[in-house]
Amino acid sequence: MGKPDLTVNFAGIKMRNPLMVASGTFGYGEEYEELVDVKKLGAIVLKSVTLKPRQGNPPPRIVETPAGLLNAIGLHNIGVSALIREKLPGLRNLGTPIIVSIGGETVEEFVELIEFLTDAEGISGIELNLSCPNIGKRILAQDPAAAGKLLESIRKKCRLPLIVKLSPQVTDITEIAGTCEEKGADAISLINSFPGMAIDIETRKPVLGNTTGGLTGPAIKPLALKMVWDVCRVVKIPVVGMGGVMRASDAIEFMLAGAKAIAVGTALFSNPDIIEEIVQGIEDYLVQNGFASVSQIVGNLDGS
Amino acid sequence: MGKPDLTVNFAGIKMRNPLMVASGTFGYGEEYEELVDVKKLGAIVLKSVTLKPRQGNPPPRIVETPAGLLNAIGLHNIGVSALIREKLPGLRNLGTPIIVSIGGETVEEFVELIEFLTDAEGISGIELNLSCPNIGKRILAQDPAAAGKLLESIRKKCRLPLIVKLSPQVTDITEIAGTCEEKGADAISLINSFPGMAIDIETRKPVLGNTTGGLTGPAIKPLALKMVWDVCRVVKIPVVGMGGVMRASDAIEFMLAGAKAIAVGTALFSNPDIIEEIVQGIEDYLVQNGFASVSQIVGNLDGS
Amino acid sequence: MKQEILSNEEVAPGIFRMGIAIWKRIQSACPGQFVHIRCSSTFEPLLRRPLSIHEIDSNEVKLLYKVIGSGTKLLSEKKPGEKLDIVGPLGHGFNVEPSPESVMIVAGGIGAAPVLFLAHFLKAARKQVLIGARTGELILYEEEFKKLGFSVEVTTDDGSYGKKGLVSSLFEEFLKRETPAIVYACGPVALLKEVADTCGNCGIPCQVSIENQMACGVGACLGCVIKTKEKDGSTIYRRVCKDGPVFDASIVSWESLI
Amino acid sequence: MKQEILSNEEVAPGIFRMGIAIWKRIQSACPGQFVHIRCSSTFEPLLRRPLSIHEIDSNEVKLLYKVIGSGTKLLSEKKPGEKLDIVGPLGHGFNVEPSPESVMIVAGGIGAAPVLFLAHFLKAARKQVLIGARTGELILYEEEFKKLGFSVEVTTDDGSYGKKGLVSSLFEEFLKRETPAIVYACGPVALLKEVADTCGNCGIPCQVSIENQMACGVGACLGCVIKTKEKDGSTIYRRVCKDGPVFDASIVSWESLI
Ligand SMILES: Cc1cc2nc3c(=O)[nH]c(=O)nc-3n(C[C@H](O)[C@H](O)[C@H](O)COP(=O)(O)OP(=O)(O)OC[C@H]3O[C@@H](n4cnc5c(N)ncnc54)[C@H](O)[C@@H]3O)c2cc1C
Ligand SMILES: Cc1cc2nc3c(=O)[nH]c(=O)nc-3n(C[C@H](O)[C@H](O)[C@H](O)COP(=O)(O)OP(=O)(O)OC[C@H]3O[C@@H](n4cnc5c(N)ncnc54)[C@H](O)[C@@H]3O)c2cc1C
Ligand SMILES: Cc1cc2nc3c(=O)[nH]c(=O)nc-3n(C[C@H](O)[C@H](O)[C@H](O)COP(=O)(O)O)c2cc1C
Ligand SMILES: Cc1cc2nc3c(=O)[nH]c(=O)nc-3n(C[C@H](O)[C@H](O)[C@H](O)COP(=O)(O)O)c2cc1C
Ligand code: FES
Ligand code: FES
């Protein structure tokens, strides 16, 4: 048998393999250049940008927890204009699809962001980060009605594949995933970090400058996997699964649960070689199990 | 300075210290007798019982995950009658308060359970496990309206302190916690396990006999802590905090976040000495930081 | 409880024997009972690992274990002099019948671990043990059994030592010649099932030691259950850690385990 | 990248020096840059640990580190011959001015780590180093500095060696007599702030190496930022791993760090 086919057409984005890097963990695509060969990646999702540059949260911004990382970066970013001006030109000729992640506080902000980006050169897709603070108490990802409205306002304006990234801190993730599909999302990205907290018992203060943060890394993998499985059974659009993928077997678990693509985030921090290891590991798995292409394992779960 | 005062009056339950064992991890109070001195405990919460005995889920029922344990026991229990007949007599004279955890599928079942228990001898409190499958798609803990109705139906019938145990898999834990307080709950227990999943990539089957399970242990501690902190800022009734407490500092974090009592579950499995270690650790912390009683650290968090 | 490790040696490829300083409660352990060990002081792995008691003498408890994954790997790296976090004895062991006419032990692979301890307790006019392993190097303690008055027969999958073949086949053949009063079996579940089936067919009482993932190890969490049959034909879940690990082979629902 | 550990010794109580086989990219490292090390193959700890480059010679990179928590503990247990998962050089190091008249290094505690490497690069008519530590045993590499042509003065908190007192006070006294053209400082943030304040008051350029928790180490995650001042008085967050760890002391918002 020849080499298995690893290519994936993810909502129209042609990827050489199903592995992406998760937004916010790979900066603007250039920071890792000495350590990671981006040509080995299926796609790059950039750090979420907002309309205007943002300073983000006060430090400390990160703290380790058992098998996890709690972060409160707070959308620190250079803004969409600087992204287009300073970063995209260098990324255009990599041959690896670039997905721009965007965040906003109002529908108008999202609309403006889409307008900025939809004609920019060298972008293969847009990821909507719905975990940004909303007008109300909740984030958009926790409010299916508001998320639906947002999608109605931007769908027509956006000519690029539109991936909606959801938060796991909801009662029923399939509800909002369903709404997004209905309102025209091309794909779903699951999951963003889980809200969490750490306290320094000596100072009796929260460890993070922002008091609370988001938990990522291997600790949350079982939770992320369940959400991907739940969502993949109700939507038809493709899903990119993430949350604690640390090695090839994790990536394969997500694909068996139904994810057409997977992303690594936190794992990069401890092991920049993870990209090559996972791609190789998936290939080996396909060979060992007699699959001709990676698409054959997507959702290929017995007895559930 | 003398020994600090560790006693806690938790919703009327007089505890020698704030440490409980979490439901389902300490059986019916007798299984650990050779390894744990129950007289060192503040209170014992028994495995959830239902009206009729239940077989629980098919094995495999447990699987380890990074810093976590995924379980799908499925309310395997001997039923309330056997509990009263066979287990309570042996527990009555321990001098450690016994809290009976109950689960049911309908309001009527809960009502019957309460009727069985409210006059039984040797019970100091009742914990309502709202994470049992409900009539609909959701569990009670994910449906504030249904949970509110349940409380209305049982509150008057129950003469014992009523602790409501909530699930973390909700959009906003404070909503249901508020409803429970309003409807007469005496205390809130936070949190039950997070829904999760694991897949065996060799067999391409879910690892657990029940497909999905609940994640517990240190992996979820940052998430549990945030929920306790969130709830303690909106309700006035006391909270027992749990989820990944593995050592004294974890317990103290939960108390600083506002929990009046804490419980250990998964930690017992790896370290039955945890009870004494935590009680001692809390005492040492109080001494080192000049607190005369454990109540002084409850909610004593700076700058948040 | 922390006990000192007295020795820890690789006795066959991938198989280690560890000696641990004895403590009070372990001295009254029954064969088939196990100890529960914390292999790491971190959360990887989070749970303890169950290992059968392999032998107990006046000053040490011996364990025989195979390196399988992270827990046993960490165990194999421990050095004499270090302290081991160990709990036990736990579980329900073998029922040792006072003095049957003949007893038979069937041990496959690392299944040899608990049966050597068992062998010390068995009193019978005729004592037979059948030991099977993948290859000759893994046949352990043949001599010890002989010293205890057992007739020993050996099979290896590759024929490098003893007879070539599976120990379950050897057992079947054996039954054509003799009928032991009681059979004790340890090893992979496929072997146990075959031995159980054969004994069932011949009406020979048989006890098996079953393995499963465990959390608490004391019967509290209900995590380690297997399906077993009641007399009325219904099935119930029983705990390997408390109701077992040794079960009467006739009550085990073998279909559910394979 | 995996590199072989050549040595790993406790050079003072709780302080280790590790030698690691050199690799290509590290040979062009600048003083003040760091390497990022995975201390465990498990998830405890999950993140890498940053350590400054202490010295580089023809065949090895040396690190000098203090055992603080789980990561450095695991590091201290590694043996020569083992492979270390190490990445680097990373970060923005010291700006070495071509040849100022005089240079001054102020090092507190384990802050001595990067400055010895720096000392190799400094060329000036007058080179002074002030070293402070808790106690005499922790004063490391006094001789090395001397060999490199530095005048060395030492303080210890307990007075067991050199002058009794804080190195920041020694520095202040020193400035009454002399004015170095440039100051490089490493050590606890309280020391750095005092040195920075003093230099600010006297108008002496000062570079400081700052520590912070890191995740990616390459500037991608924005987890390691500190607050810094812009010329217009506004503040922005800069990354310790990429914009630092060495910063011009005048731009650091010291209030936010103490
Ligand atoms: C009562 C009892 C007594 C035992 N006695 C011995 C003994 O004397 N000598 C010995 O070598 N082994 C014995 N075992 C098996 C031993 O407990 C496992 O090999 C060990 O737990 C594996 O841990 P690990 O971390 O090395 O592997 P892991 O990484 O946990 O597991 C590797 C693989 O083994 C499977 N596995 C893990 N634990 C068990 C288990 N308890 N039972 C079955 N499969 C498992 C996992 O599903 C996984 O596929 C006994 C098990 C039980 C339940
Ligand atoms: C650029 C840079 C260069 C460094 N160079 C050296 C060096 O050459 N030699 C040396 O001994 N140390 C150096 N450090 C500090 C070293 O990285 C920490 O001591 C180490 O990460 C602690 O890890 P641990 O797992 O042992 O402790 P942990 O268990 O992670 O932490 C123990 C305590 O130290 C704090 N801490 C952890 N990491 C850091 C950190 N990076 N900065 C400040 N506080 C921290 C934690 O908040 C905690 O309170 C450097 C740090 C940075 C950022
Ligand atoms: C430091 C950090 C920054 C992140 N920033 C963003 C972000 O800007 N936008 C976003 O959608 N997700 C962000 N995330 C979430 C990740 O994209 C991803 O959803 C999450 O980390 C789970 O994957 P992991 O466990 O593999 O890291 C961030 C995560 C981390 C750790
Ligand atoms: C094996 C197991 C069984 C459990 N059974 C119950 C149960 O019957 N009722 C209940 O309310 N919670 C049950 N729980 C949840 C615990 O009570 C507790 O909420 C959870 O484990 C989080 O705490 P921990 O991380 O300290 O274990 C169970 C948890 C475990 C691990
Ligand atoms: S392992 Fe907990 S009941 Fe057996
Ligand atoms: S550690 Fe990631 S930006 Fe500095």
User: Strand, helix or coil at C179?
Assistant: coil
Cα gap C139→C132, rounded to integer Å:
7
User: Does the residue D222 lie in any domain?
Assistant: no
Question: Do residue D191 and residue D127 come from a single domain?
Answer: yes
Q: Indicate if ligand 3 lies below 6 Å from the C-beta of A218.
A: no
User: Does the residue B61 lie in any domain?
Assistant: no
Spell C203-216 as b/e; 16+ CB within 10 A means b.
ebbbbbbbbbbbbb
Looking at residue B86, what DSSP letter applies? I
Subunits next to D (3 or more Cβ pairs <8 Å) are: A, B, C
Phi first, then psi, for residue D213 (nearest 5°) are -65, 140
Q: Which ligand sits closest to the CA of C46?
A: 1
Q: Identify whether the C-beta of residue C130 lies closer than 8 Å to the C-beta of residue C158.
A: no
Cα D185 to Cα A282, D180, D248: the distances in Å are 48, 13, 10
pLDDT at position A131 is 85
pLDDT at position D125 is 86
| Residues of D contacting chain C (CB within 8 angstroms) | 42-44, 70
Range of the domain at D151: 102-211
CA–CA min distance D50, chain C (Å): 22
pLDDT at position C1 is 87
User: Which of A:177-206 have CB within 8 Å of B?
Assistant: 194-199, 201, 203-206
Question: Do residue C72 and residue C121 come from a single domain?
Answer: no
How many residues are there in chain B?
304
User: Which of B:217-276 have CB within 8 Å of D?
Assistant: none
- Is A111 touching C (CB cutoff 8 A)? no
CA–CA min distance B1, chain C (Å): 32
User: Does the residue D10 lie in any domain?
Assistant: yes
CA atoms lying within 13 Å on the CB side of residue C200: 14
**What is the number of other CB atoms lying within 10 angstroms of the CB of residue C152?**
19
Chain A residues with CB under 8 Å of C40 CB are none
Identify the active-site residue in B132, B158, B180, B232: B132
pLDDT at position D194 is 94
User: Does the residue C224 lie in any domain?
Assistant: no
Q: Indicate if ligand 3 lies below 6 Å from the C-beta of D223.
A: yes
User: Strand, helix or coil at C75?
Assistant: helix
User: Does the residue C171 lie in any domain?
Assistant: yes
User: Does the residue D248 lie in any domain?
Assistant: no
pLDDT at A92 > cutoff 50: yes
- Tell me how many domains chain B contains: 1
User: Does the residue B202 lie in any domain?
Assistant: no
* CB atoms D222 and A67 under 8 Å: no
Question: Do residue D173 and residue D203 come from a single domain?
Answer: yes
pLDDT at position C99 is 78
User: Mind listing the pLDDT tens digit for each residue in A235-257?
Assistant: 999 999 999 999 999 999 999 99
- Which pTM does this prediction carry? 0.96
User: Does the residue B68 lie in any domain?
Assistant: no
Contact partners, residue C15, CB within 8 Å, separation at least 6: C64, C65, C66, C67, C110, C138, C140
Contact partners, residue C237, CB within 8 Å, separation at least 6: B55, B56, B59, B76, C222, C225, C226, C227, C228
User: Does the residue C32 lie in any domain?
Assistant: yes
User: Does the residue B132 lie in any domain?
Assistant: yes
Q: Identify whether the C-beta of residue A245 lies closer than 8 Å to the C-beta of residue A3.
A: no
Q: Indicate if ligand 3 lies below 6 Å from the C-beta of A144.
A: no
**Which atom, in ligand 1's list, is nearest to the CA of C68?**
26
CA–CA min distance C131, chain B (Å): 29
User: Does the residue D13 lie in any domain?
Assistant: yes
* CB atoms C47 and B269 under 8 Å: yes
pLDDT at position B303 is 63
- Write out residues in chain C with pLDDT < 70, as ranges: none
- The residue of chain A with its CA nearest to that of B204 is A301
User: Which of A:49-88 have CB within 8 Å of D?
Assistant: 55-56, 58-64, 66-69, 71, 73, 76
User: Mind listing the pLDDT tens digit for each residue in A123-163?
Assistant: 999 999 998 654 446 788 888 998 999 999 999 999 999 99
Q: Indicate if ligand 5 lies below 6 Å from the C-beta of C136.
A: no
Question: Do residue D111 and residue D43 come from a single domain?
Answer: no
Task: Pick from C39, C212, C216 the residue to mutate for testing the B interface (most B CBs within 10 Å).
Answer: C216
Question: Do residue D30 and residue D69 come from a single domain?
Answer: yes
Pairing of strands A212-216, C83-90: unpaired
User: Does the residue A33 lie in any domain?
Assistant: yes
Q: Of C66, C90, C114, which residue constitutes the final position of a domain?
A: C90
pLDDT at position D200 is 92
Question: Do residue D7 and residue D78 come from a single domain?
Answer: yes
User: Strand, helix or coil at C93?
Assistant: coil
Q: How confident is the model at residue B187 (pLDDT cuts 50, 70, 90)?
A: very high
Q: Give the closest of D45, D214, D223 to A73, CB-based.
A: D223
User: Does the residue A210 lie in any domain?
Assistant: no
User: Mind listing the pLDDT tens digit for each residue in A161-220?
Assistant: 999 999 999 999 999 999 999 999 999 999 999 999 999 999 999 999 999 999 999 999
- The residue of chain C with its CA nearest to that of B216 is C46
User: Strand, helix or coil at D255?
Assistant: helix
pLDDT at position B25 is 97
* CB atoms A203 and B300 under 8 Å: no
pLDDT at position A139 is 85
Question: Do residue D53 and residue D110 come from a single domain?
Answer: no
Q: Give the closest of C85, C87, C237 to B76, CB-based.
A: C237
- The residue of chain C with its CA nearest to that of D43 is C44
pLDDT at B135 > cutoff 50: no
pLDDT at B134 > cutoff 60: no
Task: Pick from C39, C40, C41, C42 the residue to mutate for testing the D interface (most D CBs within 10 Å).
Answer: C42
pLDDT at B170 > cutoff 80: yes
Residue B25 CA to ligand 5 centre (angstroms): 9
Question: Do residue C198 and residue C110 come from a single domain?
Answer: yes
**Which atom, in ligand 1's list, is nearest to the CA of C72?**
26
**Which atom, in ligand 2's list, is nearest to the CA of D39?**
25
Question: Do residue C196 and residue C118 come from a single domain?
Answer: yes
Q: Identify whether the C-beta of residue A292 lies closer than 8 Å to the C-beta of residue A4.
A: yes
pLDDT at position B137 is 63
pLDDT at B136 > cutoff 60: no
CA–CA min distance B246, chain D (Å): 15
Q: Identify whether the C-beta of residue B83 lies closer than 8 Å to the C-beta of residue B49.
A: yes
Q: What is the CATH number of the domain that holds A232?
A: 3.20.20.70
State both tokens at C54.
């392999």
Q: How confident is the model at residue B140 (pLDDT cuts 50, 70, 90)?
A: confident
pLDDT at B304 > cutoff 80: no
Q: Best substitution site from C210, C242, C243, C247 to test ligand 5's pocket, by max atoms within 8 Å of Cβ?
A: C242
User: Mind listing the pLDDT tens digit for each residue in A44-72?
Assistant: 999 999 999 999 999 999 999 999 999 99
Q: Best substitution site from D40, D94, D211 to test ligand 2's pocket, by max atoms within 8 Å of Cβ?
A: D211
* CB atoms B205 and A257 under 8 Å: no
- Is C222 touching B (CB cutoff 8 A)? yes
As for the ipTM of the complex, it is: 0.96
Burial class (CB in 10 A: 0-12, 13-18, 19+), A18: buried
Question: Do residue D204 and residue D112 come from a single domain?
Answer: yes
Mean pLDDT value across chain B? 94
Q: Of C42, C61, C90, which residue constitutes the final position of a domain?
A: C90
Q: List strand residue ranges (DSSP E) for A51-161, in order.
A: 62-65, 68-71, 98-102, 125-129
Contact partners, residue C44, CB within 8 Å, separation at least 6: A67, B66, B67, C70, D42, D43, D44
pLDDT at position C227 is 97
User: Mind listing the pLDDT tens digit for each residue in D209-258?
Assistant: 999 999 999 999 999 999 999 999 899 999 999 999 999 999 999 999 98
Contact partners, residue D185, CB within 8 Å, separation at least 6: D105, D106, D107, D111, D191, D192, D195, D196, D206, D207, D208, D209, D249
- Tell me how many domains chain D contains: 2
- The residue of chain C with its CA nearest to that of B22 is C221
User: Does the residue C83 lie in any domain?
Assistant: yes
User: Does the residue A37 lie in any domain?
Assistant: yes
Compute the average pLDDT of residues D73-88. 96
Which residue, judged by its Cα, is nearest atom 14 of ligand 1? C51
pLDDT at D111 > cutoff 90: no
Question: Do residue D85 and residue D118 come from a single domain?
Answer: no
pLDDT at position A135 is 45
**Which atom, in ligand 2's list, is nearest to the CA of D211?**
53
Q: What is the CATH number of the domain that holds C15?
A: 2.40.30.10
- The residue of chain A with its CA nearest to that of C42 is A66
User: Mind listing the pLDDT tens digit for each residue in D177-201?
Assistant: 888 999 999 999 999 999 999 999 9
Question: Do residue D191 and residue D115 come from a single domain?
Answer: yes
CB within 6 Å of ligand 4 — which residues?
B 22-25, 47-48, 69, 71, 73, 101, 129, 165, 192-193, 216-217, 242-245, 264-267; C 215, 221, 223
> Which residues of A are identified as catalytic?
132
Please report how the helices A221-232 and A173-182 are oriented relative to each other, as an axis angle in degrees rounded to 10.
50
Q: Give the closest of B61, B64, B268 to C225, CB-based.
A: B61
Q: Which ligand sits closest to the CA of A69?
A: 3
State both tokens at D147.
């060999």
User: Does the residue A66 lie in any domain?
Assistant: no
pLDDT at position B133 is 59
Range of the domain at A179: 8-56+75-194+217-297
- Is D43 touching B (CB cutoff 8 A)? yes
CA–CA min distance D46, chain A (Å): 6
